[in-house]
Structure 1
Amino acid sequence: MSAPEPLLSCQGLEAGYGVSQVLFGIDLQIGAGEVVSLLGRNGMGKSTTIKTLVGALRPTAGGIRFAGQATDRLKSDAIARLGLAIVPEGRHVFPNLTVREHLQAFADHRNGLRDAWDIERIYGVFPRLRERQNNLGNQLSGGEQQMLAIGRALSTNPRLLILDEATEGLAPVIREEIWRCLATLKAAGQTILVVDKYVHRLVGLADRHVILERGRVVWQGDSAALNADRSLWSRYLTV
């Protein structure tokens, strides 16, 4: 019996901005139910990879398949309708919508999920959002906005959830709450691609890790391998 097709795969992916090439032959696979981290120092191609996966940047070579379809020539909205949702760096919540309106406006029970991410289920993961459900986006703290951005993405019931800089700029106690929530999502079977600099937390969360250096994949493996080889951390992940 042949192995099932990965939920997301890209082979030989190249992309850039104008004449400046940033990605050089990226190979990446994510299976349904996996949590995968994308690691590397700033400027090594993580954000460009994500932009290419979600259709915000068209690749110059290579291919992308998501949910059984070639997506490297699709627009962002078409890729989103296939079940890909992103929590962008900077969160980008709407200042004039309440928490509840955010979660209602983007709700889409696509993909035939048995346990859909409706408002009550999202509130169960993020109790603080229930407490603040009538507050506007600009009345929330940075941590609350990040919770809302994750909840908003979940309300679309995505096959794949991408988190770009999941805990960037958050206070330590709020970071811990975000890590707890991501562990809850993993336990629920949510497929996740996460970018974050806190490698010591990612080895306890992610199934596999992909390290980028100057737009190339220089290492990939599971958490046990990454945790055991701390030379990788100093060579590719520390400033």
Structure 2
Amino acid sequence: MSLLEVTGLEACYGRSQVLFGLDLRIAEGQVVTLLGRNGMGKSTTLKCLTGWMAPSSGRIRFAGQDVTGWSADRIARLGLAIVPEGRQVFPNLTVREHLEAFAGNRCGAREPWTVERVFALFPRLAERAANMGNQLSGGEQQMLAIGRALVTNPRLMILDEATEGLAPLIREEIWRCLDRLREAGQTILVVDKYVKRLIRLADHHSIVERGQVVWAGDSPALDADHGLWHRYLGV
């Protein structure tokens, strides 16, 4: 049974249609990617999934419920968290305050993420616990954004361009974190451009072109067909 099932999703900005019958499924414990060039509908898809945009047609089922058209806060309470593009940390909250403000275990996780557990995952955040959000480097802000999502103990965590603009060493630290989350059984949807690294991380991939999924398959299949990379990803 799918944790997330998207069927025939369509979405518009005014008279401009962006999604044209997009389908997506994520099983519990899977790591799945949504790939494609800029402007192909990935961000719009995430807005619909998280409740920030109402689809014009199609259905979204999450955690056994039809959440199509639900508000963002209602979907979040059901166990969906997003690490947004651009991090969006609060400049006037400390690292610890960020994490404490979002902490909760609404879905009853057996081994819940706590503030201290996030500090163990990201020791650098523990060192910066008293620092304000605007006193952190870009990499530290990204760690905080991931930690902030984790302490909500989500059933599904979405990462939107989580490694964008980071130095290579920090980027690799984020990838290692995602590897650990995958091993712990966290269900994850990733939007990113580093295809080689995503092949190592994810179970399944969907490529979006002009608002539709034009290819879907597992990591060995994507790794074997570099023509897909050039045709749809510009790699």
With normalisation by structure 2, the TM-score equals 0.99
Kindly state the Cα deviation for residue 152 of structure 1 after the two structures are TM-superposed.
Answer: 0.2
Structure 1 equivalent of residue 89 of structure 2: 93
Secondary structure of 2:100's partner?
Answer: helix
* 1:224 alignment partner in structure 2: 220
The answer to whether structure 1 residue 168 and structure 2 residue 164 are counterparts is yes
1:69 to 60, 65, 70: 65
Amino acid paired to 1:227: D
Unmatched segments (≥5 aa) in structure 2: none
RMSD (Å), alpha carbons? 0.7
Paired residue for 1:196? 192
The one-letter code matched in structure 2 to 1:208 is H
Q: Is the 8 A contact 1:97 1:137 kept in 2?
A: yes
Deviation at 1:16, TM superposition (A): 1.6
- Equivalent in the alignment of 2:208: 212
Give the fraction of aligned pairs with identical amino acids, expressed as a percent.
71
Q: In structure 2, which of residues 117, 127, 133 is the aligned counterpart of residue 121 of structure 1?
A: 117
Distance 1:16 1:193 in 2: 22
Deviation at 1:120, TM superposition (A): 1.5
- The residue that corresponds to 1:52 in the other structure is 48
| Residue identity opposite 1:117 in structure 2 | W
Contact 1:206–1:223 (CA<8 Å) still a contact in 2? yes
Asked whether 1:17 is paired with 2:13, we answer yes
1:105 counterpart = 2:94: no
Tell whether 2:74 aligns with 1:78. Answer: yes
Name the SS of the counterpart of 2:98 in structure 1: helix
Q: How much does 1:209 deviate?
A: 0.3
Confirm or deny that 1:37 pairs with 2:33: yes
Structure 2 Cα separation of the partners of residues 67 and 153 of structure 1: 17
Question: What amino acid does structure 1 have at the position aligned with 2:43?
Answer: S
* 2:148 counterpart of 1:147: no
- Cα deviation, residue 125, structure 1: 1.2
- For 1:16 and 1:171, how far apart are their aligned partners in 2? 35
Q: How far has the Cα of 1:170 moved from its partner?
A: 0.6
What is the deviation of 1:116?
A: 0.1
C-alpha contact (below 8 Å) 1:142/1:170 kept by paired residues:
yes
AA in 1 matched with 2:93: L
Letter in 2 for 1:19: R
- TM-superposed CA distance for 1:112, in Å, is 1.1
Give the equivalent residue in structure 2 for 1:130.
126
Q: What secondary structure sits across from 2:200 in the alignment?
A: coil
Any idea what SS the aligned residue of 1:189 has?
coil
Distance in 2 between the 1:68 and 1:164 partners?
24
Deviation at 1:121, TM superposition (A): 1.2
Tell whether 2:175 aligns with 1:179. Answer: yes
Residues of 1 paired with 2:205 and 2:122: CA distance? 26
| Segments of 4+ moved more than 2 angstroms | none
Q: How many corresponding residue pairs? A: 235
Q: Quote the offset at 1:73 in angstroms.
A: 1.9
For residue 45 of structure 1, report the CA deviation from its aligned partner: 0.4
State the alpha-carbon separation in 2 of the partners of residues 151 and 89 from structure 1: 15
Q: Which amino acid aligns with 1:99?
A: V
The amino acid across from 1:66 in the alignment is: F
